[in-house]
Amino acid sequence: MAEHPTTLEECIALPLKEPELLEVTEKAKDWAIMHGAAMRSKTNFSPDSLNFAPFLLTPSSFPRKEFEKAVALQTIINRLMHNVAHDEEFLTTTLAETIKVDEFTANLFNVYKKVLASGFGQRISLGILRSDLMLESSCKENGSNKEENEKPCAYCCWKQVEINTIASGFGHLGPASKAIQSFVLTELDQPEKLKNMPDNQALAGICGGMIRAWEIYNNPKAVIMFIVEDVTYNICDQRFHEFYIREKYPHIKVIRRTLTEVHDTGKLGLAKELLIGDLEVAVIYFRAGYEPGHYHSHNEWDARYLMESSTAIKCPSIHYHLAGTKKVQQALAQPEMLERFISDPEEIKAIGKIFTGLYSLDDNDVGNKTFEMALKEPERFVLKPQREGGGNNVYGLDIPDALRKMSRVERSAWILMDLIKPPISKGYMVRPGGTMPPPLVEVVSELGIFGVVIGDVDNIICNYQAGHMLRTKVATANEGGVAAGLGALDSPYLV
Ligand code: ADP
Ligand code: MG
Ligand code: MG
């Protein structure tokens, strides 16, 4: 069995000669800015300017078979999450301990309980999901095939990192990353490599979901509303969605509002339609609202409830949001749990394989087994709270101290997960303000597969896989958020 670290072959022979590297990097930076592979600067913010988003100069290798498997599974994952979101009993029991100690999840759950009591204004939900995964470099199940063992990363198989049901970003930056790297490979006179970079229609697929929901709502005058943060750094990834919709469907208006603005200007009409000023809202697409900092006061929670109780189709509706919590992911990975949501045994088997070890720290941690295990071998794990957006987890040797500081009840807000050890490859990481030429560094990648699902408790109206995104970080970093400044845009080169 291969020991970690496993390495992946590069798409082209690296390093490049310095003059060539400098020239192509300068061009690629301009190409990125001019094609909207960009963000607003956090350190030097201005609403009037953009920096290119950090990117890998050339694509990172990814085993073709695992990529195809991930794509093929997405519609099953979509259906699974749709069923989970509509299982009131499951959500209630799974989150029961967590909401006793985690105020944010409790607030979300309160909104859910209030709509359960007063009746859903809209039964149809729009799910725009992103299933995030990493290759595990030493998978037992891939260790036996002789022919396969000749290939790079022969023992790799992918494992789910998490599933996002709110603000699943990079629908634009995913395809844009492929475009930058295709430009670079062409500049390097290696256009034949492009055929190994899979097609990526994430933007069209995600916007297609919003448009379909808008059609279902069936009022030609109603608008699509994006819920946004007070300040948006990842602006291109939102605006390109808006511009795509407007370009393809000029009659559909898109507006952007913060939760505070919805509170100040929103109300329900006679038929529970959501009115923002004079505008009726058909579809609400949340790009904010997933972390406590987005709710400055009760007003923002009131706004969330107002939207939930309206007839607008939400992406996500509150139950979809709850279905995306880490606690639910941990519960789903327990033996026999999938049978509650999926009937086909082959599908259950296939989904079961993508989970890595996930462990409860609540009352189900009988005899403190998880707790003791984490203290004994902390380097095997990552400890996760019920949060989104990166930067919240505790890793390896930091886990014992973190756990010891918590009371037994407080631990219920967290889950423990096996650390995935992805194969390492090399790449040039290009950053705004970074050194030139860019450094050649050891990196690891995380692939996100998008899925779109629309339906209500009885029916799924539409369910498809919708492109992908790849984020790559230096191999030594725990996390690799691009907006957070640790990761970089990338795209898969299938080997
Ligand atoms: P968030 O919802 O905040 O994005 P994640 O579960 O995706 O939370 O964790 C953030 C990052 O931490 C991931 O993008 C990945 O880089 C790293 N990470 C999370 N879980 C694991 C794991 N089991 N093994 C290795 N790295 C992980
Ligand atoms: Mg997440
Ligand atoms: Mg994540």
Give the closest residue (by CA) to ligand 1 atom 3: 390
Percent above pLDDT 90 for the chain: 90
268 carries a ligand binding annotation: no
φ, ψ of residue 240 in degrees (nearest 5) = -65, -30
480: Cβ below 6 Å to ligand 1? yes
Examine the fold and report which residue of 371, 395, 419 is the final residue of a domain before the chain moves on.
419
The mean per-residue pLDDT over the stretch 63-77 comes to: 97
Q: What separation in Å is there between the alpha carbon of 389 and the centre of ligand 1? A: 10
471: Cβ below 6 Å to ligand 1? no
Please tell me whether residues 385 and 240 are part of one structural domain.
no
427 carries a ligand binding annotation: no
Dist CA 158 CA 67 (whole Å)? 8
Query: Which is it for strands 274-276 and 157-164: parallel, antiparallel or unpaired?
Result: unpaired
Q: What separation in Å is there between the alpha carbon of 390 and the centre of ligand 2? A: 7
The mean per-residue pLDDT over the stretch 151-175 comes to: 93
Please tell me whether residues 226 and 315 are part of one structural domain.
yes
Q: Is 434 helix (H, G, I), strand (E, B) or coil?
A: coil
pLDDT for position 348: 97
pLDDT for position 479: 84
Domain for residue 2, yes or no?
Answer: no
> What ipTM, to 2 d.p.?
0.99
483: Cβ below 6 Å to ligand 1? no
Q: Look at phi and psi of residue 321 and say left if phi exceeds 0, alpha if psi is from -120 to 50, else beta.
A: alpha
**pLDDT above 80: residue 70:** yes
Instruction: Give the atom of ligand 1 at the shortest distance from the alpha carbon of 422.
Output: 25
Give the closest residue (by CA) to ligand 1 atom 11: 479
257 with 228: CB under 8 angstroms?
yes
Please tell me whether residues 470 and 451 are part of one structural domain.
yes
**pLDDT above 90: residue 193:** yes
Examine the fold and report which residue of 369, 397, 419 is the final residue of a domain before the chain moves on.
419
Which amino acid belongs to residue 27?
A: K
Q: What separation in Å is there between the alpha carbon of 478 and the centre of ligand 1? A: 8
284 with 312: CB under 8 angstroms?
yes
420 carries a ligand binding annotation: yes
Please tell me whether residues 377 and 392 are part of one structural domain.
yes
The conformation of residue 2, written as its DSSP 8-state character, comes to P
Dist CA 455 CA 188 (whole Å)? 46
pTM of the predicted protein model: 0.96
Dist CA 492 CA 495 (whole Å)? 9
Query: Considering only CA atoms, which of 290, 311, 315 is closest in space to residue 300?
Result: 290
**pLDDT above 70: residue 154:** yes
Task: For 47-142, list the strands marked E by DSSP.
Answer: 51-52, 55-56, 60-62, 125-136
Q: Is 449 helix (H, G, I), strand (E, B) or coil?
A: strand
Weakest mean pLDDT among 268-272, 360-364, 434-438 = 360-364
pLDDT for position 143: 59
Dist CA 292 CA 259 (whole Å)? 12
pLDDT for position 210: 98
Instruction: Give the atom of ligand 1 at the shortest distance from the alpha carbon of 420.
Output: 24
14 carries a ligand binding annotation: no
CATH of the domain at 404: 3.30.1490.50
12-44 in b/e burial notation, b at 16+ Cβ within 10 A? eeeebeeeebeebbeebbebbbeebbbbbeeee
Q: Which residue has the higher pLDDT, 366 or 126?
A: 126
Give the closest residue (by CA) to ligand 1 atom 2: 388
479 carries a ligand binding annotation: yes
Pocket test for ligand 1, best of 447, 479, 486 (most atoms within 8 A of CB): 479
**pLDDT band per the 50, 70, 90 thresholds, residue 155:** confident
Give the closest residue (by CA) to ligand 1 atom 17: 479
Please tell me whether residues 377 and 230 are part of one structural domain.
no
**pLDDT band per the 50, 70, 90 thresholds, residue 1:** very low
pLDDT for position 150: 62
**pLDDT band per the 50, 70, 90 thresholds, residue 2:** very low
The mean per-residue pLDDT over the stretch 233-243 comes to: 98
Please tell me whether residues 367 and 234 are part of one structural domain.
no
Give the tens place of pLDDT for each residue, 248-264.
999 999 999 999 999 99
Examine the fold and report which residue of 380, 399, 419 is the final residue of a domain before the chain moves on.
419
359 with 415: CB under 8 angstroms?
yes
Please tell me whether residues 452 and 363 are part of one structural domain.
no
pLDDT for position 142: 62
Which amino acid belongs to residue 479?
A: E
Please tell me whether residues 40 and 57 are part of one structural domain.
yes
Please tell me whether residues 433 and 474 are part of one structural domain.
yes
Token digits of residue 10? 């590069």
**pLDDT band per the 50, 70, 90 thresholds, residue 4:** low
Instruction: Give the atom of ligand 1 at the shortest distance from the alpha carbon of 162.
Output: 6
Q: What separation in Å is there between the alpha carbon of 6 and the centre of ligand 1? A: 20
pLDDT for position 146: 56
**pLDDT above 80: residue 484:** no
**pLDDT above 50: residue 109:** yes
What is the total count of domains within the chain?
2
Pocket test for ligand 1, best of 136, 139, 162 (most atoms within 8 A of CB): 162
**pLDDT band per the 50, 70, 90 thresholds, residue 149:** low
Q: What separation in Å is there between the alpha carbon of 276 and the centre of ligand 3? A: 32
Token digits of residue 87? 């299982």
Q: Is 206 helix (H, G, I), strand (E, B) or coil?
A: helix
Which amino acid belongs to residue 308?
A: E
CB-based contacts of 192, cutoff 8 Å, min separation 6 = none
Give the closest residue (by CA) to ligand 1 atom 22: 419
Q: What separation in Å is there between the alpha carbon of 422 and the centre of ligand 1? A: 12
**pLDDT band per the 50, 70, 90 thresholds, residue 412:** very high
Give the closest residue (by CA) to ligand 1 atom 16: 479
- The angle subtended at Cα 366 by Cα 362 and Cα 371, nearest 5°, is 65
Please tell me whether residues 271 and 201 are part of one structural domain.
yes
Instruction: Give the atom of ligand 1 at the shortest distance from the alpha carbon of 479.
Output: 16
**pLDDT band per the 50, 70, 90 thresholds, residue 138:** confident
Give the closest residue (by CA) to ligand 1 atom 20: 161
Residue 403's Cβ-side half-sphere holds a number of Cα atoms within 13 Å equal to: 25
Domain for residue 90, yes or no?
Answer: yes
The mean per-residue pLDDT over the stretch 50-56 comes to: 97
473 carries a ligand binding annotation: yes
Please tell me whether residues 433 and 326 are part of one structural domain.
yes
187 carries a ligand binding annotation: no
pLDDT for position 27: 98
Average pLDDT over the chain, rounded to whole?
95
Domain that holds residue 399: 357-419
Please tell me whether residues 80 and 201 are part of one structural domain.
yes
384: Cβ below 6 Å to ligand 1? yes
